[in-house]
Amino acid sequence: MAPPVVRGTAAWRYFGDFRDALLAGQVLVLQVAHPIVAAGVRDHSDYREDPWTRLTRTVASLSIYVYGGTKGAQAEADRLRKLHRSFTGTADGRRYSALDPGAYAWVHATLVMAPVDAQRFFGRPMSASELDEYYAQMCGIGRILGVRERDLPPTWPEFERYYRETIAGFGPNETISTLFETIDTVRKPFSRMSDRRWSRLQKGYSSAQMFLIRATIPSELRARLGLQWTEQDARRFSRLCRATRMLATLVPPPLRTVLMRAIGKLNVWLRAHPWAYRFFVRS
């Protein structure tokens, strides 16, 4: 039985850490590198037309998994599985389903790894005991979400091997190319923001996002995707990592997750009060 996610445990401390946001692009690339996920996103996602709303909904959903309590996580899991049940289609002449067990497990696996990578890059790497507790907790959350026990390895060392071996089979695809194009041409997040102001900000946003993707995806996949990485890039990323670690030391550990915890609690309340959810969240 997975350890409960309560204050002070590994998943509670690390899953919603503000530094995890720096790996948002990495997670998206790794998810859509999977052929079935790529096909589902291509055919059923609106992220290209409305990326900011999609991002908001994704953050809301993630926050509930860990910080919404067991009932909140179960309700969100039921909602997601119902939503994805209709996401079917054809890719390379074969039928696919968004609920394909291997693809569904892989999406969860990328979310499991992201906080571990965030600490490795931008903080203090988790200890062996923290990794064991964290992985057990995230596997428990995976069960709630519908990831079958046999679709993820039972221990952290085996999970790391599974993760590397899965990525070794990935390469370029149309959805990754579309994702990069979307990052490069992303629309302004707020309609009231002037086009002139966004045109100045957009180039910096796109450049930073692509830099973080190139820096944090596994080097072998980076090479297969044709993304350049120079010694100068490595030095820039090293400086960013040091600066982020220093910044994090100024933030008390409980405050590092406060935003994600607040979002999780708010979304549990909103979904328990449908009238409020319809008022605050666009359908």
Q: Is residue 264 part of a domain?
A: yes
What is the Cα–Cα distance from 279 to 216, expressed in whole angstroms?
A: 38
- State the pLDDT at residue 50: 72
Q: Is residue 248 part of a domain?
A: yes
State pLDDT tens for residues 43-102.
Answer: 988 777 777 777 777 888 888 888 988 888 888 888 888 888 888 998 888 898 989 999
How many domains does one find in the chain? 1
State pLDDT tens for residues 3-38.
Answer: 888 999 999 999 999 999 999 999 999 999 999 999
> Which distant-in-sequence residues (6+ apart) come within 8 Å of 55 by Cβ?
24
Q: Is residue 1 part of a domain?
A: no
Q: Would the pTM of this model clear 0.85, i.e. be above it?
A: yes
Q: Is residue 4 part of a domain?
A: no
Q: Is residue 247 part of a domain?
A: yes
What is the Cα–Cα distance from 133 to 151, expressed in whole angstroms?
A: 19
Higher pLDDT among residues 80 and 226, named by residue: 226
Q: Identify which of 58, 57, 56, 79 has the alpha carbon closest to the alpha carbon of residue 144.
A: 79
- State the pLDDT at residue 280: 61
Q: What angle do CA 18, 225, 92 make, to 5 degrees?
A: 105
Residue 94, strand partner residues? 91
CB atoms closer than 10 angstroms to residue 13: 20
Per the CB < 8 A criterion, the answer to whether 92 and 35 are in contact is yes
What is the Cα–Cα distance from 63 to 280, expressed in whole angstroms?
A: 17
State pLDDT tens for residues 101-158.
Answer: 999 999 999 999 999 999 999 999 999 999 999 999 999 999 998 999 999 999 999 9
Is the per-residue pLDDT at 202 higher than 70?
A: yes
Q: Tell me whether strands 88-91 and 94-97 are parallel, antiparallel or unpaired.
A: antiparallel
Domain that holds residue 200: 10-280
